[in-house]
């Protein structure tokens, strides 16, 4: 009897140890501040993985820009300093200029997964970032130009604007002077009058208090935001099929729920901006058309200048069917 107990204890110990040895822990960083608009989808993803993956896979969330500057996240992922990143293409164009093309997406993510567009991106992620593209946690979510000086037409001459690569070619094409900063520096830049405005999506300006320093928003919005989960490829290749499945399922769920989520957030934040006294600036019909045409023309020209062959290919996948 005692022998049997000892034996079963041994077996139990062995099994527990085996399970513990099999659980893999991945290190994750977000390029956006913790618990803000563009980190929330990622944080839900981590919770899902940690719930469904008990004993199999665990994500250790190191944090946001306090843990790592957003423009360094791409490098850290590529080099395996981190295993999982929540990042937007604009933050790692130094490694993969084509990632800037995400902003020009006019077809649903589901369509890109069908039409070969995602395969084209995936191959670039593998080559340039040593990464696997998992999922986009932003639905339709336009960018806007926010200003503290009024304009009457789409002419940004004399204005100094905070940008990332998302807005650079467009704002410059309209005559603006641009200065790149991480989101964490926008408030101070506005407060000190270093910039007259900034580019940002329709949602999220309340996260870091920018409504206090913002007078106008130019309508309509342009492009659509993208913030995606990426996994280091060397890490990915070492995972079991079961571990990969946990990540893929949580990724697919997040990508699907981002569509209704952002439709709702877009409407809520538009209303909240009005209540905060942010006044919309609109142009006449010809001005509006010029503004939007210029956005796409300058945007694609920029991508194609950086990567002629891949840029043209991506334009085919990402553009609205004619």
How far, in Å, CA of 151 to CA of 157, rounded?
Answer: 10
Residue 181 C-beta: closest distance to ligand 173, Å: 8
Q: What angle, 0 to 180 degrees and rounded to 10, lies between the N-to-C axes of helices 308-318 and 285-306?
A: 140
Q: How many residues does this entry show for the chain?
A: 322
Out of 30, 39, 86, 88, point to the residue binding ligand 173 (CB under 6 A).
88
Contact between 170 and ligand 173 per CB under 6 A: no
In the block, tokens 């467009």 appear at: 170
- Pairing of β 143-147 and β 84-87: unpaired
Residue 55 neighbours by CB under 8 Å, 6+ apart: 19, 20, 22, 23
Site string for ligand 173, 211-240 (x = CB under 6 A): --------------x-x-------------
Residue 157 C-beta: closest distance to ligand 173, Å: 22
Contact between 31 and ligand 173 per CB under 6 A: no
* Whether the Cβ atoms of residue 173 and residue 294 lie closer than 8 Å to each other: yes
Among the listed ranges 127-135, 196-204, 242-250, 255-263, the one in contact with ligand 173 (CB under 6 A) is 196-204
Cβ distance to ligand 173 smaller for residue 181 or 319: 181
Contact between 258 and ligand 173 per CB under 6 A: no
Residue 98 neighbours by CB under 8 Å, 6+ apart: 121, 124, 128, 303, 306, 307, 310, 311, 314
Cβ distance to ligand 173 smaller for residue 184 or 287: 184
Cβ distance to ligand 173 smaller for residue 32 or 216: 32
Contact between 38 and ligand 173 per CB under 6 A: yes
Q: Which residues bind ligand 173 (CB under 6 A)?
A: 38, 88, 90, 164, 166, 183, 199-201, 225, 227
């Amino acid at each position: 009897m005692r022998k049997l107990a000892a034996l079963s204890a041994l077996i139990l110990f062995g099994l527990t140890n085996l399970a513990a040895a099999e659980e893999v822990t991945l290190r994750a960083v977000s390029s956006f501040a913790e618990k803000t608009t563009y980190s929330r989808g990622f944080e839900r993803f981590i919770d899902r993985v940690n719930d469904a993956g008990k004993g199999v896979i665990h994500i250790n969330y190191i944090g946001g820009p306090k843990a790592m500057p957003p423009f360094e996240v791409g490098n850290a992922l590529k080099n395996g300093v981190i295993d999982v990143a929540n990042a937007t293409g604009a933050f790692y164009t130094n490694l993969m200029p084509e990632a800037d093309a995400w902003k020009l997406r006019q077809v649903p993510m589901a369509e890109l997964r069908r039409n070969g567009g995602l395969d084209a991106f995936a191959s670039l992620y593998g080559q340039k970032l040593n990464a696997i593209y998992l999922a986009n946690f932003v639905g339709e979510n336009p960018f806007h130009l926010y200003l503290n000086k009024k304009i009457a037409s789409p002419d940004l001459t004399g204005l100094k604007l905070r940008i990332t690569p998302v807005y650079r070619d467009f704002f410059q094409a309209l005559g603006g002077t641009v200065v790149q900063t991480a989101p964490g520096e926008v408030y101070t830049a506005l407060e000190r009058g270093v910039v007259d405005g900034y580019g940002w999506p329709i949602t999220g300006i309340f996260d870091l208090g920018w409504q206090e320093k913002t007078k106008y928003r130019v309508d309509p919005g342009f492009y659509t935001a993208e913030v995606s989960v990426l996994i280091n490829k060397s890490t990915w290749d070492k995972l079991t099929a079961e571990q990969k499945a946990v990540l893929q399922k949580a990724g697919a769920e997040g990508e699907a729920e981002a569509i209704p989520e952002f439709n709702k957030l877009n409407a809520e934040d538009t209303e909240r901006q009005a209540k905060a006294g942010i006044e919309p600036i609109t142009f006449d019909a010809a001005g509006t058309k010029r503004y939007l045409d210029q956005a796409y023309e300058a945007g694609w020209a920029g991508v194609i200048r950086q990567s002629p062959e891949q840029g043209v290919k991506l334009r085919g996948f990402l553009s609205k069917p004619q």
